[in-house]
Homo-oligomer: A and B are copies of this chain.
């Protein structure tokens, strides 16, 4: 067996902590550092922060500069911001330090779309320093994009792609229930949606990623967001949604090409959703229909795919990657 990949965990929010715990369980990975600027974490032992009941002799630092410069790691697991522009300087610093990177940054799934110049620049930095960088996750990163692209592998021709993800937010953590607007009045919801405070980041990136794989140079990308209104009162472990209030959100991204809607990504996250699932429908030869009944559980699956992609990025050609330029991701051990 080859030497473990030495990993720095960057960001210790819920996903970052789960990812760090998972890194510890993998023989092919070794956790060697942790970065988070939050005052409640800085200076503490990571084992303590993760609630392991044992010390890891890894002190959480708020000063990434020193850690990145030491060359005692191979890769960074980046779990902080959603904006590629916002993380661009950090991504560049990670690459210049000679470190590979897998990131949960939603816009990093397909950064060449919103930020072609920065994406090109980061690609060149990665190549120059011999490292790879990939943005991934469950959504964006898997169920509404990569899996749909993979389903086309058995198709002679694809005319359109529809992906539906229905999440029963009532089964998820409180932060997610609040994030999707559950319990708000319709007016409050629409106000927050307009302020982009209720919004799934990355749906448009998923859309453009799929379009690119299929060779569809879209004429237009359209996104809409609306509340799902509760038709009866719903009570979750954390909050109450009165009848007529928002139970959550429905966000739809559409891709138009040659006058047709060729791509539709329909994301519904609300408390009380009756048949949660991920579903891919290809109008294709042969027709393809893929269903994940119950849906893919993001809280567990997101740290998993981030961790599982680490070896795939390390072994790939240097550069800014997408999920279609690395080898098949799978659970690692």
Contact of A86 with B by CB under 8 A: no
Q: Chain A 283-303, CB within 8 Å of chain B: the 1/0 string?
A: 011111111111011011101
Shortest beta-carbon distance, A177 to chain B, in Å?
18
Assembly CA distance A140 to B308 (angstroms): 24
A150 at the interface (CB under 8 A from B): yes
Interface residues of A in 65-93 (CB under 8 A from B): none
Nearest CB in chain B to that of A214: its residue:
B331
| CB nearest to A146 among chain B residues | B328
Proximity bits, A306-333, B CB within 8 Å = 1, else 0: 0111000000000000011111111111
B291 to A291, Cβ gap below 8 A?
Answer: yes
Question: Which stretch in A44-52, A152-160, A234-242 binds the other chain?
Answer: A152-160
Q: Which residues of B contact A155 (CB under 8 A)?
A: 301, 304, 308, 331
Q: How far is the CA of A304 from the CA of B158 in the complex (A)?
A: 11
- Let me know if A138 is at the binding interface, CB within 8 A: yes
| Beta-carbon contact of B296 and A288 below 8 Å | yes
User: Does any Cβ of B come within 8 Å of A32's Cβ?
Assistant: no
Contacts of A294 in B (CB 8 A): 287, 289
Quick one: which of A157, A309, A331 has the most chain B CB within 10 A? A331
Main secondary structure of the interface of A (DSSP, over half): mixed
Beyond A150-B150, A153-B304, A156-B303, is A214–B330 a contact (Cβ under 8 Å)?
Answer: yes
Could you tell me if B289 and A330 are in contact, using CB atoms closer than 8 angstroms? no
Which of B149, B301, B324 contacts A154 (CB under 8 A)?
B301
| Assembled-state Cα–Cα distance A149/B297 (Å) | 18
Q: How far is the CA of A284 from the CA of B308 in the complex (A)?
A: 14
Which residue among A214, A296, A330 has the maximum number of chain B CB atoms within 10 Å of its CB? A330
Residue numbers in B under 8 Å from A143 (CB-CB): 154
Determine whether the beta carbon of B330 is less than 8 Å from that of A327: no
Q: A155-B301, A286-B300 are in contact. List 7 more A-B contacts (CB 8 A).
A: A149-B328, A152-B330, A155-B308, A156-B300, A215-B332, A287-B297, A289-B293
Name A's B-contacting residues (CB within 8 A): 22, 25, 138, 142-143, 146-147, 149-150, 152-158, 213-215, 284-294, 296-297, 299-301, 303-305, 307-309, 323-333
26 pairs across A/B with beta carbons < 8 Å?
A: A25-B157, A142-B154, A147-B150, A150-B150, A150-B328, A150-B329, A150-B330, A152-B330, A154-B296, A154-B308, A156-B303, A156-B304, A156-B307, A157-B331, A215-B332, A284-B331, A286-B296, A287-B294, A289-B292, A289-B293, A290-B291, A290-B292, A291-B291, A291-B292, A324-B327, A328-B328
